[in-house]
Amino acid sequence: MNSQKAIVIGASSGIGKELAKILAHNNYVVGITGRRIHLLEELQKELSASIFVKQMDISRTQEAITQLKELIAEIGGMDLIIINAGIGFINPDLELEKEQATIDVNVSGFIAMATTAMKYFLAQKSGHIVAISSIAALRGNRGAPAYDASKAFMSNYMEGLRTFAAHSGFPIATTDIKPGFVDTAMAQGEHIFWQASAEKAATQIFHAIKNKRKHAYITRRWRIIAWLFRNIPDFIYDRL
């Protein structure tokens, strides 16, 4: 039986790196991308010859689309893509450069990867798109407005792709992953509430992928916070 082929967009550290490890250990042929090529090459050496590396900055959308297509050809196809690349800033002063950089990666770059993958899977008549959004997608945040808005965009777009796939008639799955706090470079501060290790988060994400979940909170107990976020009145939320 041929091995499944997976590509992780944004695998140089954190959740993406741990997912690449799990996929490799479960006999996937894995393609990994990121801006920091030396970290990708270190991971390639750590794992096995079935790891393929491609340097990529998804904010450069046209280049990234070409690079994704090249990587698909190099690994001999694609059954699963995990779009994990993302950035965010605490930006209480609303510096436009930071807001724009967030949109360039988390929105424009995400769309470039997601649409390219969907077109590939439509031609193949099967596949699975996974996006790592965030619990932040549920409400706006005065400290990081572009980040939360970009994650809400991702989640909404993934729902659109899910209905798009359903109407195609092909078995194309979509999974929207909403992590809470995970111990990565994106998490800032000490003693962060309910912070999970990248390894634990990746393990639960892989379980959601195997079960083709439409969406999943990581770790699972963040479902409680999601319920609170959705139901807390504005007059209370505005004062938090």
pLDDT 10s digits, 183-220: 765 544 444 556 778 899 999 999 999 999 999 998 77
Q: With a cut of 70, which residues of the chain have pLDDT below it?
A: 1, 184-194, 222, 226-227, 229, 231, 235, 237-238, 240
pTM of the full structure: 0.90
| Contacts made by residues 54-62, CB under 8 angstroms, sequence distance 24+ | 56/9, 56/85, 57/109, 58/9, 58/10, 58/85, 58/105, 58/109, 58/110, 58/112, 58/113, 59/101, 59/104, 59/105, 59/108, 59/109, 61/108, 61/109, 61/111, 61/112, 62/112
Can you give the pLDDT at residue 142? 87
Distances from the Cα of 18 to the Cα of 58, 93, 110, 148, 190, angstroms: 20, 34, 20, 24, 22
Can you give the pLDDT at residue 191? 45
Can you give the pLDDT at residue 166? 96
Can you give the pLDDT at residue 186? 53
What residues are labeled active site?
147
Can you give the pLDDT at residue 135? 87
**CATH architecture of the domain covering 5-237:** 3-Layer(aba) Sandwich (3.40)
Can you give the pLDDT at residue 192? 56
